């Protein structure tokens, strides 16, 4: 190899080393700048170090930039408030890895029967539609004394009875939710449940004797098909929502 080639190779190596050194220096400078952002906002040294590491770890996740920034800013405010009573980031959120995990994959929201009343009511209504449709559809084909078919309820009566059950069952669930301070004693709550059942059965009975023109009886096959469809619907509703006030 000629001296010129050696000189060129040496110059190229020097340029590569210089470039790598510059990149390392730029990264080091950027790291210091980011680190200083957490040191100059009132956080203790330990908490600033935690937030710096968390920010780096969060940056490697697939969360959107807006979500990352919102999370960091919220944590800073909570941490500044927590420091007033001696709390640290580790006390509040666990390790950096644990906090990143709960940020990226937040735990499911705790069940709340009061907040979830309407979706619980809807689920129960669909569930009772399934029960009534299948019950009347199947009973029609079962043998009875005298060869008579079992009496059928009309579609209006089924809809009304299912709606009342849907609205009432979540309330019953709320009255017996454990770990909650209830307004009434257990005996009063039991009496209220019994009254609800009496009212429900009364509505059920009245609905069943409505005139045929207002309460038409459908073909039992139709009832069975509707029962299967509503059953599938109730299954998906239960999976999609956090149902806490359901019978099943």
Per-residue three-class SS string for 101-168: HHHHCCCCCCCCCCCCHHHHHHHHHHHHHHHHHHHHHHHCCCCCHHHCCCCCCCHHHHHHHHHHHHHH
Q: Counting runs of H as helices and runs of E as strands, what totals does the chain give? A: 9, 0
Question: What is the CB-side half-sphere exposure of residue 128 using CA atoms within 13 A?
Answer: 23
Output the CA angle 143-202-212, nearest 5 degrees: 60
Q: How many residues does the chain have?
A: 248
Q: What is the pLDDT of residues 62-80, one digit of tens each?
A: 888 898 889 989 998 998 9
Q: What is the pLDDT of residues 195-248, one digit of tens each?
A: 999 999 998 888 878 888 899 989 999 999 999 999 999 888 888 886 765 666
The Cβ of residue 104 has, within 10 Å, a number of other Cβ atoms equal to: 14
Q: What is the pTM of this model?
A: 0.58
Residue 44 tokens read as 């203790």
Mean pLDDT over each residue of the chain, to the nearest integer: 81
């Amino acid at each position: 190899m000629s001296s010129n080639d050696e000189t060129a190779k040496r110059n190229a190596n020097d340029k590569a080393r210089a470039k790598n050194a510059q990149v390392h220096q730029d990264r080091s400078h950027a790291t210091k700048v980011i680190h200083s952002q957490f040191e100059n906002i009132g956080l203790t040294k330990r908490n600033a170090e935690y937030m710096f590491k968390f920010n780096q770890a969060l940056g490697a996740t697939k969360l959107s930039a807006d979500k990352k920034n919102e999370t960091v800013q919220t944590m800073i405010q909570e941490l500044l408030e927590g420091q007033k009573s001696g709390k640290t980031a580790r006390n509040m959120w666990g390790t950096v890895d644990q906090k990143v995990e709960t940020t990226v994959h937040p735990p499911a929201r705790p069940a709340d029967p009061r907040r979830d009343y309407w979706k619980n009511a809807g689920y129960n209504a669909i569930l009772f539609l399934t029960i009534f449709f299948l019950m009347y559809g199947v009973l029609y084909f079962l043998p009875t004394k005298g060869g008579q078919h079992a009496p059928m309820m009309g579609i209006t009566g089924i809809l009304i009875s299912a709606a009342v059950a849907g609205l009432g069952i979540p309330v019953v669930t709320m009255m017996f939710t454990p770990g909650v301070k209830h307004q009434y004693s257990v005996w009063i709550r039991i009496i209220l449940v019994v009254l609800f059942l009496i009212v429900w059965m009364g509505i059920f009975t009245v609905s069943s004797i409505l005139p045929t023109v207002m309460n038409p009886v459908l073909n039992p096959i139709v009832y069975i098909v509707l029962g299967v469809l509503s059953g599938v619907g109730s299954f998906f509703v239960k999976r999609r929502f956090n149902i806490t006030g359901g019978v099943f």
